[in-house]
């Protein structure tokens, strides 16, 4: 149905096309469909996956072909295909006049991410990137604590993510092709560190493919040190080994420190020199992060403002991910400027 064919019941509703109806695409379809102000269309080039997705959450229209879907003139396109296919979906969507929300990472390479950012500039459309951790209550509170100066100057940090279940949830054919994918799967950490601490200046790293688990990409363990332009030094540890998964951040400042593990439901804040700690409760379930993410992107577009995570942020994160890969592959310090 084209925009002109919309019924009166649809008047005032925005139309969102979700492209890619796999794991994350279905979550977006389900949560966008809850909204009374939104009509949802779906597209997947695999007819069986599309049929399954729309059985789960019925949509107004569905397509196996991207060109046919874009001919329906959606105002928004949600790119939920695998990373190497983001550019091939995002750039025609932008040229068709849609604002694009692209699942993380923006693309599979810096070059491809820059291509998307360039088309966004040429078309004057907005691109947002799905680093949904920025919408998680705990990380939002940490951002407020930092902005309020509760830690003083942040001098260091330690960020850890381990998730064997990331691999268990994938098709095995996908895993064998996933050299260095650990840096893109966990690029959430690079994104929110940029949000908290600003740009990275240089990285060192080491990595391994080790252990006896049946699913073992190369690498499955990365230890990196990020030095930020601010001078702060952060240890980054990623592994595809831990089960159950875990995601933790500690930040150390000259006025205090904090720690947060996402499953714990609380941030522990301690002022410098104090015995006592403050426990800050964290609310919300995973679906709530995505609901906030949707609202934030719609609000940014309506106000003509930068989205929470811009295409430029997405490119900056890809640059750090590629720098870490170069650092552990070539065993050297990589400078970003």
Ligand X SMILES: NC(=O)c1ccc[n+]([C@@H]2O[C@H](COP(=O)([O-])OP(=O)(O)OC[C@H]3O[C@@H](n4cnc5c(N)ncnc54)[C@H](O)[C@@H]3O)[C@@H](O)[C@H]2O)c1
Interface residues toward ligand X, by CB under 6 A: 19-25, 43-46, 49, 66, 80-83, 85, 88-89, 103-104, 130, 132
Task: Tell me the residue nearest to ligand X as measured from the CB.
Answer: 22
CA distance 61 to 291: 22
DSSP summary character for residue 217: -
Write the burial class of residue 49 (CB in 10 Å: 0-12 exposed, 13-18 middle, 19+ buried). Answer: middle
With tokens 């049946």, the residue in question is 214
Decide: helix, strand or coil at residue 42. Answer: strand
DSSP summary character for residue 169: T
Can you spell out the DSSP letters for 226-277? EEETTS-EEEEEEES--SS-EEEEEEEETTEEEEEETTTSEEEEEETT-S--
b/e burial code for range 97-124 (CB count within 10 A of at least 16 → b): ebbbbbbbbbbbbbebbbbbbebbeebe
DSSP summary character for residue 310: B
C-alpha 206, offset from chain centre = 24
Q: How far is the CB of 335 from ligand X (least distance, A)?
A: 27
- Largest Cα span, the chain: 66
Query: Beta partners for 162?
Result: 239, 246
Q: At what angle do helices 137-147 and 187-197 cross, to 10 degrees?
A: 30
Query: Beta partners for 4?
Result: none
Stated as kind and residue range, the H or E segment containing 278 is strand 278-281
Sign, CA dihedral 172-173-178-182, equals negative
């Amino acid at each position: 149905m084209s925009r002109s064919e919309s019924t009166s019941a649809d008047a005032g509703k925005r139309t969102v096309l979700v492209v890619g109806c796999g794991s994350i695409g279905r979550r977006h379809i389900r949560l966008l469909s809850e909204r009374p102000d939104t009509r949802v269309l779906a597209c997947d080039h695999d007819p069986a996956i599309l049929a399954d997705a729309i059985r789960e959450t019925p949509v107004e229209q569905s397509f196996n072909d991207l060109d046919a879907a874009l001919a329906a003139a959606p105002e928004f396109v949600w790119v939920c295909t695998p990373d190497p296919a983001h550019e091939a979906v995002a750039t025609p969507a932008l040229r068709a006049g849609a604002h694009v929300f692209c699942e993380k990472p923006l693309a599979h390479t810096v070059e491809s991410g820059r291509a998307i950012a360039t088309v966004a500039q040429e078309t004057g459309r907005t691109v947002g990137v799905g680093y949904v951790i920025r919408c998680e209550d705990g990380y939002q509170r940490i951002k407020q604590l930092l902005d309020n100066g509760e830690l003083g100057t942040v001098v260091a940090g330690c960020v850890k993510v381990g998730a064997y279940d990331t691999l268990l949830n994938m098709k095995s054919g996908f895993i064998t092709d996933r050299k260095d994918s650990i840096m893109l799967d966990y690029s959430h950490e690079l994104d929110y560190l940029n949000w908290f601490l600003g740009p990275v200046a240089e990285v060192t790293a080491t990595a391994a493919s080790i252990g006896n688990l049946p699913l073992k990409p190369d690498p499955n363990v990365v230890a990196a040190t990020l030095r930020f332009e601010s001078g702060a030094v952060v240890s980054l540890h990623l592994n595809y080994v831990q089960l159950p998964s875990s995601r933790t951040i500690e930040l150390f400042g000259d006025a205090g420190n904090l720690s947060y593990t996402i499953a714990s439901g609380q941030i522990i804040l301690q002022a410098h020199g104090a015995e006592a700690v403050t426990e800050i409760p964290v609310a919300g379930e995973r679906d709530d992060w995505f609901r906030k993410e949707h609202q934030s992107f719609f609000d940014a577009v309506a106000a003509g403002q930068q989205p929470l995570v811009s295409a430029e942020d997405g490119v900056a994160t890809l640059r750090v991910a590629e720098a870490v890969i170069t650092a552990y592959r070539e065993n050297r310090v990589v400078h970003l400027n």
